[in-house]
Structure 1
């Protein structure tokens, strides 16, 4: 896998926010949310165990900061027997097509409970552990699959210059209902304009989207 070089220097305010303030907020925020949501994590786990069985969690390799791979955690929303066949293969040559839209293959079956978990982003809650470990941030471009990022053009790779997030600018501007080109455009805007106020705006918009289930699949 081709590694993405780290930039030698960034503008001082952005560098300070990304390196210190954002990480501090991530640690405090993920720790607090894990404590507050712990009873619900147990509840969602028990419900999943009763109606869908084991395993409770779904783990997959994703591209992190500077294209470094890490294992993302989610509540399982597919049939257990479909997990091993859930990988995707793409044959793009130059870059990921702008009009590409990610969809779950018809051969995979998302459970009824899984659809609810996905609609209201319940399946994403375990990623707070990824945030606490420093692999993700609360806000940032969504972590992409390795099978897709290996086809990135040099421009598309720029979205990997910040930590992936549980929510992001693309998620509050369309979620799963936008094309790959639109997602990249939103993510590149975020990379360039990353700030506390933008992160706060995204978090507030995310709360509304999660409650309404808008744009989920």
Structure 2
């Protein structure tokens, strides 16, 4: 039933968004050249990897060590702020890689650091939007985001999905949490040493307690 709802919402959204998507593609082509679509491997349901699609927001490097921030074009910044760069993911939903609502798909190199409990996040299809997205997005730590996603999986219902959709509209109209403090999203905190999985529920930390190498802006966005 959820899959049927995903398809219905995606087809309706696709019909409405198609003219806008074509305009964005033409603008990207005119300002940055090709390719128009940015592809990246993400981990989906049950650990299956797939290519997530986004509109390209960064120009090519002019030299090998050029920083990433200057490569974000004016158009790219606008697409990111409005989340319009995510429109191509409607195709991911049609393909069955993703659903409309669920945890945002993460990079394989992040998933390998999941604890046994955190791997429960892979029990459902990743989504275009989700509980963690409307509760803070990139302004909260990875452990907090994962806990919110696990809570959603345990309590998901039609009423909760409708609430998330309503909150998503609010977030799109008043964008917040697109990047963390300082404008750079933190990488997934890799554990410094193996630890036993606690039997009790993990308490949400207020600050990340470990750090990991930072990835490029295109790679870190949800």
After superposition, residues 176-187 of structure 1 pair within 5 angstroms as 176-187=138-149
Q: 3-state SS of the aligned residue for 2:131?
A: coil
Give the corresponding residue for 1:174: 136
1:67 counterpart = 2:44: no
1:144 counterpart = 2:106: yes
Alpha-carbon displacement from aligned partner over 1:63-113 (angstroms, at most 9, x marks no partner): 00011101111001122349x99xxxxxxxxxxxxxxxxxxx954532222
After superposition, residues 1-217 of structure 1 pair within 5 angstroms as 21-81=1-61, 106-107=67-68, 109-217=71-179
CA RMSD of aligned residues (A): 1.9
Q: 3-state SS of the aligned residue for 1:152?
A: coil
Tell me the distance in 1 between the aligned counterparts of 2:40 and 2:61: 15
Q: 3-state SS of the aligned residue for 2:39?
A: strand
How many correspondences in the alignment? 177
Cα 1:48–1:107 shift into 2, 3 Å: closer
In structure 2, runs of 5+ residues without a counterpart are 180-222
With a CA cutoff of 8 Å and minimum separation of 6, indicate the structure with the bigger relative contact order: 1
